[in-house]
A and B are shown apart, each in its own frame.
Chain A
């Protein structure tokens, strides 16, 4: 609280901050003005700000968070622009350059040039044995990772939030049933289940005699990660709702005859956004790692789709002779996951300055 007040005083000098609240945020702004007026107890001109604005303001002051956000955005941009980049660079992730052009790979299938065949033509070198271009593999691989991680984060958050709120709000038998499912899911050896379930879901979608389509693994991985992922969010939300349900403002809403829908969406939800967003930012890098882990264990994306996990698999087979190849997916993923974790920490701090880490 104290830092917030100091923040407001400091920013009072900046004219572009002296905007008036828009009509959509007027209600919460009025609150903010009240608190500030009471706390500051001075006659300085006071600017009302919504909780969202306050959060954004706190976030911008956190230098680590801003740098992390820039790095994460850069990764997303590279993923989006992968076709443009590979067009400008003149290579694609699918061609076996090393096999088609003589003089790139030696008789054992390793790049002839040192450091994994890094050269003016192949900036990040060549994949051993088949001779695909590493740079384009890498930037198309970001797409696979981020797409899967995003889809799974959204799905598991939606399912977790829905079931968590239902369980906490309705209570009774529903709560007991959902609670037992959550307990069971969380006591599963989930990583073991992850690898084991992917082929099972494959087999559920397609007959063993059919040729598996390329989208199959994508769908299976998303389903499995979601099924094993929602329980943590649900348990968190259930606990939050259980404690909020007994508070006076919910009680008064109920007494004044508010419908359950209104209580959930208008009274509970505004208090739940913070834990939901924090949980989602914590989960996303885990899903990036899990997806790559599946690829590493050989149950990831098929050969036709560039994937970081498979790059790790290839890299761990060839590192005795060509350690450079492993460095590219390894370092890229390390940077991405660190940046995302730091971003998550900063978002948590910005939303909830009281929590100490």
Chain B
């Protein structure tokens, strides 16, 4: 187990360094002049030189990357903005605040959104999938199958406003989506995030229904199920106590892969409901060509996904011991 973990963590670190290197190169070398992007359209040459010097952009690219990377661990002193203690991801071009603080401020919103949506996706998707497999061929199964096609074709930015229009504007059943910290008032937090959770999970849930259904049907054809039945176990016990465990293994793997997509969906959901999370931060940074912010958000996003994937792998190894051998 330890060597499995070590191997996965080292691999993840390599990928993270790779991603940050590529991202850094893309943001600081591909645009013709990043200092000008900071300085704005009307920029006198001497100011441009100053900006370039203060941001360290007059140094070779690799030195710039090294400065950026080491700042995460030891901090850095920007002449223009003042010192930036570790972990430092630089200062935003647009708002002059430290990038790391901005991301930390917004983190709870995105975390609440994705965690809540994951709970909805997994519980609802697995439940309907199992019911569809239990009643295979019956109306329930057919409804589950056809709604999964529609669900996968829906767009968050269409369904979101529609749901708000219906449930909030017209019927007044729920409050307008917003973020209230969980620590402040758990109930308000829950009620205000209910619509975003449901909308974000709509596009994923259908897929999990479909997968759970086919996995269950596959498991039910396995030898151990037949043995259990032959030994007199009731159909219901075999189904709900045995078969679903086997069906969950591939579902967990796919959920690990889907986490990246879920984060992407969170960006669009945050924008749809104007929740001030990391996705909204990224979109605003794009509109302002705020390079340090973009770099920070991308690297933190990639790190989150890589870490979550390790967690999923470890979970997977716990459930299915065969994984560790490879």
Contacts and interface: CB of A to CB of B under 8 A. Distances in A.
Interface of A: 180, 183-184, 187-201, 203-204, 207-209, 285, 289, 292-293, 296-299, 312-313, 315-316, 319-320, 323, 326, 329-330, 333-334, 337-338, 341-342, 345, 356-357
Contacts of A203: 30-32, 37, 289
B301 A192 contact: yes
Given A204-B32, A297-B283, A341 B157 contact: no
Interface stretch (B101-109, B224-232, B302-310): B302-310
Contacts of A313: 157
A183 B306 CA distance: 11
28 contacts: A183-B15, A184-B15, A189-B260, A189-B305, A190-B260, A191-B263, A192-B263, A192-B264, A192-B298, A195-B282, A199-B289, A204-B31, A209-B36, A209-B41, A293-B268, A298-B286, A312-B157, A315-B161, A316-B157, A320-B169, A323-B161, A323-B165, A333-B155, A333-B158, A334-B153, A337-B153, A345-B149, A356-B214
Contact of A192 (B31, B155, B282): B282
B32 A207 contact: yes
Contacts, number: 147
A338 B153 contact: yes
Contacts of A334: 150, 153-155, 158
Contact of A187 (B267, B272, B297, B305): B305
Given A297-B267, A313-B157, 6 more contacts: A187-B306, A200-B30, A204-B31, A207-B36, A289-B155, A342-B149
A191 B155 contact: no
Interface stretch (B19-27, B49-57, B179-187): B19-27
A341 B261 contact: no
A296 B271 contact: yes
Contacts of A312: 155, 157-158
B260 A341 contact: no
Contacts of B289: 199, 203
Contacts of A329: 158
A196 B157 contact: no
Contacts of B26: 197, 200
Which residue, of B153, B272, B294, has the highest number of chain A Cβ atoms within 10 A?
B153
A316 B272 contact: yes
B155 A292 contact: yes
Contact of B264 (A190, A198, A204, A298): A190
Nearest to B159: A330
Interface in B187-237: 214
B62 interface: no
Given A316-B157, A341-B153, A191 B15 contact: no
Contacts of B32: 203-204, 207-208
B162 interface: yes
A40 to B, nearest CB: 30
B73 interface: no
Contacts of A196: 282, 285-286, 294, 297-298
A345 B158 CA distance: 24
Contacts of A292: 155, 157
B162 A326 contact: yes
Contacts of B261: 190-191
Contact of A200 (B15, B31, B165, B287): B31
A298 to B, nearest CB: 6
Given A203-B31, A208-B37, A191 B165 contact: no
Contact of A297 (B155, B268, B301): B268
A330 B155 CA distance: 8
Contacts of B165: 319-320, 323
B265 interface: yes
Contacts of A183: 15
B160 interface: yes
B158 A184 contact: no
B160 to A, nearest CB: 7
Nearest to A327: B162
Closest 6 CB pairs of A and B: A191-B264, A203-B31, A330-B158, A337-B153, A189-B301, A319-B161
Contacts of A198: 286
A196 B294 CA distance: 7
Contacts of B30: 200-201, 203-204
A184 B301 contact: no
Interface in B242-295: 260-261, 263-265, 267-268, 271-272, 279, 282-283, 285-287, 289, 294
